[in-house]
């Protein structure tokens, strides 16, 4: 008998509703859920292949423990005993900083790791805490931290009501949106244009999104902050600054006016590659559009001026009166969330040991992990815990990290595959697949363009422990209670803490345990007085309406105002001004995302890797001619740190002087058991990205704009 399960897809930020048909334990069909309150039937190739992921025979279903150098199947008790034997002596002798953590991207797409990862990391208490954020969006946390006082107060484009969207360094028709949870971006952008609105894309490549847009500006990589400053310059020069209802809530406007003075359109044009008259027009149209919004993503964050660029995006939203107003950039109000006001944001509460890099938002740069392992001395990292992360493919100069991992005394990975990173672990603890666990997009609803809430019960049973149980066992191990500790009692303790902070009696969620109980408490404490039972009664989700203004409530700066010219950001402006000296003819590498990829980990699903090799270096015809490269030939791409050989794809979609290689490939390594991925290996682009290039303010790796040399192989 076929049953249909309404499931929120956990594979990217769009949170689409899926109808998954299951017969006798087998997934027989996956369609977009037309009744989903948010996605209304939208689905992409990854969501459609969730059954392939579930049934993948290479997905781990038993813990693996290293014995005599080889990873072998073990019992859960045996695996936890091995973790205890590996971690306890290191903690006892060297303290918690000797154990580093890398929490990867899927850990925020998983309710158990989102909620209980926090518990484990806090119990471990290491300063060597690394996540995908420092190869991704940390500049945004830092910039909004300074602007609004809260690193989680990220405004998102009010895409369904805006009349003008200026988008930089994002390709949502492929990525399905990021820091902007919005299923069916094509539909939403089509609607924008149908109501007479305009989409302007700034990207070194004519991407699918750029192709779809009204206007595309092909910018030189890494120069967005210059362009954005020039737009600010024009707003002041042409008297188009208007704070609207934010008047009285903003400090530092005059300082920004002064800061923007040197960045005239004429001054930035030769460096950005965008004509001065065009820049002026872009600014004026943005200001005159009424409801308009500026939005920047990966292309603006994983670059040398990531924080300054991210800051300027919101400076423009403030100066045009578009922050916190319908059709502008707005703060979501999620049904459940971190809650409770924090102290005003600051960075640098501790520093990385070797390079002295300041902590940001509790994290150190992932690009510094290798040196923390290999540099001898007090405080050296001796053990590593990865949670849903594949840093050996995802972080810059990954060869160096891979070599460093070889020097660890102990490594444990919570992961669903034995892949390029987890193959090095002493213990791999597998978690259930996406259909075998309950789901609620706690993290991504914080960035949703509409307030919604959707609960997904597990569609299929599993013999595996849920990851929250595994994380509580690890918590027991690092706190000295031992792997045999009473997990239920620990869970009660966690729940009581959340209830206490929310002013609730934990017994209101009686009868529930694990993430269900925590979520029920968080919903009850949230702004809509929902309970988990309300969501259980609404399998297609609950629509909580469009975004509503939140200033001044959302602000948590010391002044209680928007700090438009934060000291730390202002101090980085001279570094940017130094770029005005002139254009460079250095060839640079950028990345790109692909519809059927998911960073490093979904290449083991046949349906997603079929067809021609997608891991190519894209080169403009003029560069191909100049460099002697031909379509289908192989190029050697060299940087300071390494070289790779990649098939050439000649296309005029890419800007001359720029080449593009997607990340997340490079599966042809020893010791992985992902057979399909190994048969479609591609090349790891992070063998040429440089771990010494970081955005100064956030420690985020520069993954776009890497100087390279390209020659025929
Ligand atoms: N050059 C370059 N590098 C980049 C980027 C780029 O644009 N260019 N992008 C960066 C960005 S934005 C990101 S977010 C990172 C992502 O890089 P990572 O943080 O490494 O994340 P993923 O590659 O998505 O894979 C993570 C791992 O999670 C495992 N996994 C999947 N689901 C689960 C689960 O439910 N539980 C557990 N325990 N494990 C699971 C997978 O098997 C895989 O090993 O890559 C970054 N690297
Ligand atoms: N199908 C698919 N979807 C995904 C992912 C995936 O791997 N595959 N990954 C997910 C993750 S982890 C994330 S973080 C999001 C990212 O979501 P997006 O940011 O929308 O992702 P990208 O498609 O990488 O778009 C970045 C764009 O920036 C451009 N770019 C590069 N350098 C510069 C620059 O210096 N300036 C400007 N203006 N543009 C530049 C690139 O050409 C590219 O088009 O996508 C998520 N969604
Ligand atoms: S767009 Fe994202 S959330 Fe929607 S089906 Fe595809 S992978 Fe899943
Ligand atoms: Mo990401």
Domains for the chain: give ranges and CATH numbers.
2-55 (3.30.200.210), 64-126+382-439+452-543 (3.40.50.740), 138-334+563-577 (3.40.228.10), 584-712 (2.40.40.20)
Q: How far is the CA of 295 from the centre of ligand 4 (A)?
A: 16
CA dihedral 605, 607, 613, 615 (to 10 degrees): -50
Ligand nearest to the CA of 104: 1
Of the candidates 117, 120, 95, the one whose C-alpha atom is nearest the C-alpha of residue 106 is 117
> Tokens 């919005």 label which residue?
182
**Residue 582's pLDDT is what?**
78
Whether residue 593 has its Cβ less than 6 Å from ligand 2 = yes
**Are the beta carbons of 164 and 292 closer than 8 angstroms?**
yes
Say how far apart CA 632 and CA 563 lie, in whole Å. Answer: 51
* Band (449; pLDDT cuts 50, 70, 90): very high
**Tokens representing 600?**
């490093």
Tens digits of per-residue pLDDT, 480-503?
999 999 999 999 999 999 999 999
Residues 6+ apart with CB under 8 A from 118: none
Say how far apart CA 365 and CA 139 lie, in whole Å. Answer: 11
Q: Residue 338 above 90 pLDDT?
A: no
Residues 6+ apart with CB under 8 A from 514: 112, 466, 468, 469, 491
Tens digits of per-residue pLDDT, 342-370?
788 999 999 999 999 999 999 999 999 99
Q: How far is the CA of 105 from the centre of ligand 4 (A)?
A: 6
**Residue 339's pLDDT is what?**
66
660 phi/psi in degrees, rounded to 5: -130, 135
| Helix extents (H) in 294-377 | 298-301, 306-319, 369-374
Say how far apart CA 306 and CA 572 lie, in whole Å. Answer: 11
Average confidence (pLDDT) over 540-567:
97
Which residues on adjacent β-strands are paired with residue 71? Answer: 66
Say how far apart CA 412 and CA 408 lie, in whole Å. Answer: 11
* Band (157; pLDDT cuts 50, 70, 90): very high
Least confident of 64-73, 250-259, 339-348, 682-691: 339-348
Residues in the chain: 713
**Are the beta carbons of 559 and 565 closer than 8 angstroms?**
no
Residues 6+ apart with CB under 8 A from 553: none
Q: Give the mutation target among 6, 7, 8, 9 for probing the ligand 3 site: most ligand atoms within 8 A of CB.
A: 9
Of the candidates 426, 463, 419, 394, the one whose C-alpha atom is nearest the C-alpha of residue 59 is 419
Say how far apart CA 143 and CA 566 lie, in whole Å. Answer: 9
Give the pairing type, strands 292-296 and 129-131. unpaired
Average confidence (pLDDT) over 521-534:
97
Ligand nearest to the CA of 441: 3
Q: Residue 341 above 80 pLDDT?
A: no
Q: How far is the CA of 1 from the centre of ligand 3 (A)?
A: 27
Pick the atom of ligand 1 nearest to 137's CA. 12
**Are the beta carbons of 310 and 178 closer than 8 angstroms?**
no
Q: Tell me the residues surrounding ligand 4 (ion) with CB < 5 Å.
A: 136
**Are the beta carbons of 565 and 259 closer than 8 angstroms?**
yes
Residue 343: which region, alpha, beta or left (left: phi > 0; alpha: psi -120 to 50)?
beta
Whether residue 618 has its Cβ less than 6 Å from ligand 1 = no
**Tokens representing 569?**
């950001």
Residues 6+ apart with CB under 8 A from 250: 243, 318, 561, 562, 564
**Are the beta carbons of 298 and 263 closer than 8 angstroms?**
no
Of the candidates 315, 325, 293, 292, the one whose C-alpha atom is nearest the C-alpha of residue 228 is 315
> Tokens 């593009």 label which residue?
660
**Residue 343's pLDDT is what?**
83
| Helix extents (H) in 218-305 | 224-237, 253-260, 265-272, 276-288, 298-301
**Tokens representing 445?**
């609803």
Say how far apart CA 249 and CA 564 lie, in whole Å. Answer: 10
Q: Residue 340 above 70 pLDDT?
A: no
* Band (116; pLDDT cuts 50, 70, 90): very high
**Helix (H) or strand (E) segment spanning residue 89:** helix 76-94
Q: How far is the CA of 171 from the centre of ligand 2 (A)?
A: 6
| Residue nearest ligand 3's atom 4 by CA | 16
**Residue 583's pLDDT is what?**
78
Say how far apart CA 335 and CA 542 lie, in whole Å. Answer: 10
Distance of CA 424 to the CA centre of its chain: 24
Q: Residue 50 above 90 pLDDT?
A: yes
Q: How far is the CA of 40 from the centre of ligand 1 (A)?
A: 27
**Residue 51's pLDDT is what?**
98
Residue 242: which region, alpha, beta or left (left: phi > 0; alpha: psi -120 to 50)?
beta
Tens digits of per-residue pLDDT, 576-633?
999 998 778 899 999 999 999 999 999 999 999 999 999 999 999 999 999 999 999 9
Question: What percentage of the chain exceeds 70 in pLDDT?
Answer: 100
Tens digits of per-residue pLDDT, 311-326?
999 999 999 999 999 9
**Residue 337's pLDDT is what?**
84
| Residue nearest ligand 3's atom 6 by CA | 44
Tens digits of per-residue pLDDT, 213-231?
999 999 999 999 999 999 9
Chain-wide mean pLDDT for the chain? 97
Q: How far is the CA of 393 from the centre of ligand 1 (A)?
A: 8
**Residue 240's pLDDT is what?**
97
Beta-sheet strands, E only, within 547-612: 562-563, 588-590
Say how far apart CA 465 and CA 110 lie, in whole Å. Answer: 14
| Helix extents (H) in 451-599 | 467-478, 487-502, 514-525, 532-536, 567-570, 573-577
**Are the beta carbons of 303 and 705 closer than 8 angstroms?**
yes
Q: How far apart are the two ends of the chain, measured CA to CA in Å?
A: 56
Say how far apart CA 44 and CA 285 lie, in whole Å. Answer: 33
Q: How far is the CA of 602 from the centre of ligand 1 (A)?
A: 10
Residues lining ligand 3, CB < 6 A?
9, 11-12, 14-16, 43-44, 46-47, 176, 183
């Amino acid at each position: 008998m076929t049953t249909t399960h309404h499931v929120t897809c956990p594979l990217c930020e769009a949170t689409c509703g899926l109808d998954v048909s299951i017969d006798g334990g087998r997934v027989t069909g996956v369609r977009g859920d037309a009744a989903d309150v948010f996605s209304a039937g939208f689905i992409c190739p990854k969501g459609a292949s969730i059954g392939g992921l579930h049934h993948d025979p290479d997905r781990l279903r038993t813990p693996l423990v290293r014995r005599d150098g080889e990873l072998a199947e073990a019992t859960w008790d045996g695996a936890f005993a091995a973790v205890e034997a590996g971690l306890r002596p290191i903690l006892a002798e060297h303290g918690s900083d000797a154990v580093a953590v890398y929490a990867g991207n899927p850990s925020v797409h998983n309710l158990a790791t989102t909620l209980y990862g926090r518990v484990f990391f806090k119990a471990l208490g290491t300063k060597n805490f690394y996540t995908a954020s420092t190869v991704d969006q940390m500049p945004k946390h830092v910039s909004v931290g300074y602007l609004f006082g809260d690193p989680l107060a990220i405004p998102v484009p009010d895409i369904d009501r805006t009349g003008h969207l200026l988008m930089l360094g994002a390709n949502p028709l492929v990525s399905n949106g990021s820091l902007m949870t919005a299923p069916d971006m094509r539909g939403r952008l089509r609607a924008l244009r149908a109501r007479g609105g305009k989409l302007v894309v700034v990207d070194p490549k004519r991407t699918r999104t750029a192709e779809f847009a009204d206007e595309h500006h092909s910018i030189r990589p890494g120069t967005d902050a210059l362009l954005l400053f020039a737009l600010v310059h024009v707003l002041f020069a042409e008297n188009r600054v208007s704070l609207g209802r934010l008047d009285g809530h903003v400090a530092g406007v005059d300082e920004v006016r002064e800061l923007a003075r040197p960045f005239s359109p004429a001054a930035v044009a030769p460096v950005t590659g965008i004509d001065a008259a065009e820049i002026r027009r872009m600014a004026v149209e943005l200001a005159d559009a009424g409801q308009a919004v500026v939005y920047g993503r990966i292309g603006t964050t994983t670059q040398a001026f990531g924080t300054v660029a991210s800051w300027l995006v919101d400076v423009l939203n403030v100066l045009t009166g578009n922050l916190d107003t319908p059709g502008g950039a707005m703060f979501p109000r999620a049904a459940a969330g971190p809650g409770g006001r924090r102290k005003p944001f600051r960075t640098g509460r501790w520093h990385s040991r070797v390079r002295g890099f300041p902590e940001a938002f509790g994290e150190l740069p992932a690009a510094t992990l290798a040196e923390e392992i290999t540099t001898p001395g007090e405080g050296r990292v001796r053990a590593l815990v990865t949670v849903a992360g594949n840093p050996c493919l995802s972080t810059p100069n990954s060869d160096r990290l891979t070599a460093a991992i070889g020097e660890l005394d102990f490594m444990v990975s919570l992961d669903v595959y034995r892949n390029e990173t987890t193959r090095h672990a002493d213990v791999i603890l597998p978690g259930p697949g996406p259909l075998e666990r309950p789901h609620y997009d706690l993290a991504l609803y914080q960035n949703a363009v509409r307030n919604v809430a959707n609960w997904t019960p597990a569609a299929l049973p599993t013999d595996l422990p849920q990851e929250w149980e595994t994380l509580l066992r690890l918590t027991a191990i690092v706190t000295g209670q031992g792997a045999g500790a009473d997990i239920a009692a620990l869970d009660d303790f966690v729940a009581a803490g959340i209830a206490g902070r929310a002013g609730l009696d934990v017994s209101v969620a009686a009868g529930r345990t694990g993430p269900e109980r925590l979520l029920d408490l968080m919903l009850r404490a949230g702004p809509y007085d929902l309970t988990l039972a309300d969501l259980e009664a609404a399998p297609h989700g609950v629509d909580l309406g469009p975004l509503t203004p939140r200033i001044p409530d959302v602000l948590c700066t010391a002044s209680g105002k928007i700090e438009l010219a934060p000291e730390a950001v202002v101090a980085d402006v001279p570094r940017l001004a130094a770029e005005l000296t002139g254009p460079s003819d250095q060839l640079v590498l950028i990345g790109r995302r692909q519809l059927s990829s998911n960073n490093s980990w979904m290449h083991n699903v046949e349906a997603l890797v079929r067809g021609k090799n997608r891991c190519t270096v894209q080169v403009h015809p003029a560069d191909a001619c100049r460099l002697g490269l031909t379509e289908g030939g192989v190029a050697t791409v060299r940087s300071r740190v390494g070289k790779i050989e990649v098939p050439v794809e000649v296309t005029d979609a890419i800007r001359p002087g720029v080449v593009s290689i997607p990340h997340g490939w490079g599966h042809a390594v020893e010791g992985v058991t992902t057979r399909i991925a190994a048969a479609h290996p591609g090349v790891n682009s992070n063998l040429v990205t440089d771990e010494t290039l970081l955005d100064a303010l956030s420690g985020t790796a520069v993954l776009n704009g890497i100087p390279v040399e390209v020659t025929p192989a």
